[in-house]
Structure 1
Amino acid sequence: MTTSTALLFADLTGVAVFAASGASAAVAKRLDLFGVIFVGFVAALGGGIFRDLVIDEVPPLAFADWRYAVTAAVTAGIVFWFHPQFARLRTTVLVLDAAGLGLFTITGTLKALEAQVPAVGACFIGMLTAIGGGLGRDLLTGEIPVVLRREIYAVAALLGSVTVVVLDFAGLTGPAPLTAAAALVFGVRLIALRRRWSAPVATAQPRVGRRPAGGS
């Protein structure tokens, strides 16, 4: 399997798992068939559209290659029709989202590097490719985006992007090293969820009440 074929396979796999993640979230919100497919489409392809626009690859693959849109729509439709089998929707969404996060981090970073984007820029493009679909999914389903919560999400994607850049610098861009990088993102995300790891948040300062006038 060539690198380009492996990249296409990973990209379409990421589209499928993010579409399933988005569709599962939409089903949990009791959206209709069109709503489920639309949310699945945005979750699957939103980050990739952003990536392609940033690296000046127009039209984006989501519109130029029918396989992307069809993969997203078909996957979302399957989730809609067979959602009773997804007994624990929240767990399913989280696992699928973690898998999509890992796959899209790798493909986004690689495509940025292929477009001659410098290492630091490629890391950020890879991270934004990975989190863009989930951001759109959460906004459409009325949830606070995961990337804005305390959970380790964008940090896991950024770690994966840095790993891909280091592997590329070392000349290790074959399927095995890239799969290991995707697994790293996936593992960090799931472990963070299980152990409730979180980024620090600002501590609210208690308001100091005014002393009542008069009296002692």
Structure 2
Amino acid sequence: MSDARTDGTPTTPGRTRVLLADDQALLRMGFRLVLEAEDDLEVVGEAGDGLEAVQLTAQLRPDVVLMDVRMPGLNGIEATERVVASGSATRVLILTTFDLDEYAFAALRAGASGFMLKAARPAELVSAIRAVATGDAVVSPRVTRRMLEMFSDALPAAGQPVPAPHPARALLAQLTAREAEVLGAVAEGLSNNEIALRLYLSEATVKTHVGRILAKLGVRDRVQAVVLAYETGLVGR
């Protein structure tokens, strides 16, 4: 099932190394053709199921895993959880045919750095991989809106008891007012450039704020920061 580069062939420095995980060989071939047409991307291996994806991630240490959701044995969500739990620096971009919110939420909670549909155009896929590799988030505006709706719906109605504060609220208290403002904008799905324009900051300053936010919250990337922002009620109230 695998087509991993394990023969000692050196990879090209400066390229983003990608592992393809999908149970359909023809789709993997298509993805490979698209990605290897780009000078800065390199496919270093292929996995036909979730368990193989986890094993090859540990072995090959790719920058990004392009992970299908529905695979035999270990599915893509569980595979993502294992990759993240291992402490790997590899980032996971979920790619699925099924435009269902529960897949998006499960993938993001599992630690995925992005969620895209297989119907995405090749240019969108390439752009998403590059973004994820640099620590950015890839979550469609539709998914962001649904996250806002879901967590808003979960808030207690008038007269109902207010639940205990989320344990991560103490972490949010460490953020400065500006950092909280930046996190709110990130949770809206805005890019660093869009945040810079809104807050009248340089893009470099926004990147610095985002880096400090991730460190203070103890999360690995922007997506996890967004999930935390919704779960704790920082946004959506």
TM-score, scaled relative to structure 2: 0.24
Which structure carries more strand by proportion? 2
Larger Rg: 1
Greater RCO (CA < 8 Å, at least 6 residues apart): 1
TM-score, scaled relative to structure 1: 0.25
